[in-house]
Amino acid sequence: MSAISAAEKVDGFTRKSVRKAQKQKRSQGSSQFRTQSSLVELSPLPQLKDAPTTEQQELFCQKLQQCCMLFDFMDSVIDLKSKEIKRATLNELVDFVSTNRGVLVEAAYPEIAAMISNNIFRTLPPSDNPDFDPEEDEPTLEASWPHIQLVYEFFLRFLENPDFQPSIAKRYIDQKFVLQLLELFDSEDPRERDFLKTVLHRIYGKFLGLRAFIRKQINNIFLRFIYETEHFNGVAELLEILGSIINGFALPLKAEHKQFLMKVLIPMHTAKGLALFHAQLAYCVVQFLEKDPTLTEMVIRGLLKFWPKTCSQKEVMFLGEIEEILDVIEPTQFKKIQEPLFKQIAKCVSNPHFQVAERALYFWNNEYILSLIEENIDKILPIMFGSLYRISKEHWNPTIVALVYNVLKTLMEMNGTLFDELTTSYKAERQREKKKEQEREELWQKLDELRVKETSGMLNNTHSLQNAQNNNNTSAK
């Protein structure tokens, strides 16, 4: 979003290194801070544990209110005393809700919700680094973490308190609250996202009425991530939560869940930053297939549709995921997708990038996959043979060639007769392909000629004589 600066225009190369040199792990304040004006200095309240039981509740609420005050952490010397008071109070509050029973009375809920919202809900500031690469760059850390961390801590203890009553809390922890919570998952600070993950998980577990809403909003976040912004820091965390949500789905799966799989999770494989959340994504996909094996065909066809064309690193990830799927596939499902799948695998084994070829060839080390291949050798061998035969002679990398020999040997042992037939017909097959290719070219040539004729035909109406010449010219060629 930041304006393109002259330096960017001027110096495209050293940009990154210079920027990195300039900022030594800066931390960020939050946009919301400016709304607070005229800070009043906090004064310490008495300790909760020293207060008589009758006054404890009121003191608890007072302390919660006191913690609603926000401080500017970008300025490290300002309000030091008040900051320390708030930190100590938050610590005390965490301790109070985790060790005491019977402290969560109904009147405390709105105060608690207000304190939490006030502290954690904020518009995340613009990223310091517009093309932040989560794999390479250091994340910008939240400046007010010393306080926010304790607030999250408190929030968790509150949700996990045995006296916690969702029926009361749902008045405050409602759809709007959850929506704001979900937006925070975009935080660049991994520590914050980690807390959010646990918090959201607890909320999903305790508030049955919010479950559908949470799933739908995650859905929306993912769709925006895939099709609009291509940027969201908390994808991996959300997927991790979803992994366990999917695990708990009842059978038969609802249409809504299947749609989520096909229209959200599968297209997510196209994301540029797939490496950051692929493990979690693959886990979700496999969870779905373990629940309902009939989805296998759709899923594999989906993955084949989005198969990476140029990014070898992603291709390796896809192959890994396919292997995870094949590990749990039912033989009947395997038959349905073996043809398109092995056509892709045949392309992968002959990939010039040795890591891709190697990853695909490793399939032959998997006992279960091997047994599936053996069962369907009549179908698979003809698909694989051409590629394997060719690269056994052509691949530049000796490791790949060695692996291919092993694979060919395994396949030969599975069906020697077919193998021999394919070996003898290999040349004829190549020639047939060449011929077909030639025919295609001829067809298109004819079509193009027709097009030329058409266009000159239009001219013909007005300049018949000139056109006759044109025709002569074309036929002369």
Using CB under 8 A, pick the residue from 450, 459, 473, 474 that binds another protein. 450
Q: Binding of another protein at residue 131 (CB under 8 A)?
A: no
Q: Binding of another protein at residue 311 (CB under 8 A)?
A: no
Q: Binding of another protein at residue 31 (CB under 8 A)?
A: yes
Distance of alpha carbon 315 from alpha carbon 428, whole angstroms: 32
Query: CB within 8 A of 77, min separation 6: which ones?
Result: none
Using CB under 8 A, pick the residue from 258, 453, 467, 470 that binds another protein. 453
Q: Binding of another protein at residue 12 (CB under 8 A)?
A: yes
Q: Which residues, 266 to 305, sit near another protein by CB under 8 A?
A: 267, 305
Q: Which stretch binds another protein (CB under 8 A): 112-120, 350-358, 416-424, 449-457?
A: 449-457
Write down the least CB distance from residue 273 to another protein, Å: 18
CB 332 within 8 A of CB 338: no
Distance of alpha carbon 22 from alpha carbon 26, whole angstroms: 10
Token output for 416: 């020697």
Q: Binding of another protein at residue 2 (CB under 8 A)?
A: yes
Q: Binding of another protein at residue 432 (CB under 8 A)?
A: no
Which of residues 221 and 319 has its CB atom nearest to another protein in the complex? 221
Distance of alpha carbon 232 from alpha carbon 230, whole angstroms: 7
Which of residues 85 and 337 has its CB atom nearest to another protein in the complex? 337
Write down the least CB distance from residue 172 to another protein, Å: 17
Q: Which stretch binds another protein (CB under 8 A): 50-58, 90-98, 388-396, 452-460?
A: 452-460
Q: Binding of another protein at residue 37 (CB under 8 A)?
A: no
Q: Which stretch binds another protein (CB under 8 A): 33-41, 60-68, 163-171, 365-373?
A: 33-41
Write down the least CB distance from residue 149 to another protein, Å: 23
Query: CB within 8 A of 295, min separation 6: which ones?
Result: 253, 258, 261, 288, 289
Q: Binding of another protein at residue 224 (CB under 8 A)?
A: yes
Q: Which stretch binds another protein (CB under 8 A): 11-19, 184-192, 311-319, 422-430?
A: 11-19
Q: Binding of another protein at residue 125 (CB under 8 A)?
A: yes
Q: Which stretch binds another protein (CB under 8 A): 31-39, 201-209, 238-246, 425-433?
A: 31-39
Which of residues 92 and 315 has its CB atom nearest to another protein in the complex? 315
Which residues is 28 bridged to in the sheet? 142
Q: Which stretch binds another protein (CB under 8 A): 198-206, 216-224, 381-389, 391-399?
A: 216-224
Q: How many CB atoms lie within 10 A of CB 222?
A: 22
- Identify the CA nearest to 368 among candidates 412, 319, 324: 324
Query: Parallel, antiparallel, or unpaired for β 27-28 and 141-142?
Result: parallel
Name the H helices within 100-165: 108-120, 145-160
Q: Binding of another protein at residue 445 (CB under 8 A)?
A: no
CB 161 within 8 A of CB 130: no
Q: Binding of another protein at residue 6 (CB under 8 A)?
A: yes
Q: Which stretch binds another protein (CB under 8 A): 202-210, 224-232, 348-356, 359-367?
A: 224-232
Q: Binding of another protein at residue 443 (CB under 8 A)?
A: yes
Q: Which stretch binds another protein (CB under 8 A): 3-11, 165-173, 366-374, 411-419?
A: 3-11
Q: Which residues, 153 to 192, sit near another protein by CB under 8 A?
A: 176, 179
The beta strand positions in 115-189, using DSSP E, are 141-142
Phi-psi region of 353 (alpha: psi -120 to 50; beta: other; left: phi over 0): beta
Residue-wise DSSP of 42-85 = P-PPPPGGGS-HHHHHHHHHHHHHHTT----SSSTTTTHHHHHH
Torsion of CA 468, 471, 475, 476, to 10 degrees: 60
- Identify the CA nearest to 321 among candidates 401, 265, 367, 372: 265
Distance of alpha carbon 193 from alpha carbon 199, whole angstroms: 10
Distance of alpha carbon 349 from alpha carbon 391, whole angstroms: 8
Terminal C-alpha separation, the chain: 56
Q: Binding of another protein at residue 435 (CB under 8 A)?
A: no
Task: Point out which residues bind another protein (CB under 8 A).
Answer: 1-3, 5-7, 10-14, 31-35, 123, 125-126, 176, 179, 220, 223-224, 226-228, 263, 267, 305, 343, 440, 443-444, 446-448, 450-451, 453-454, 457
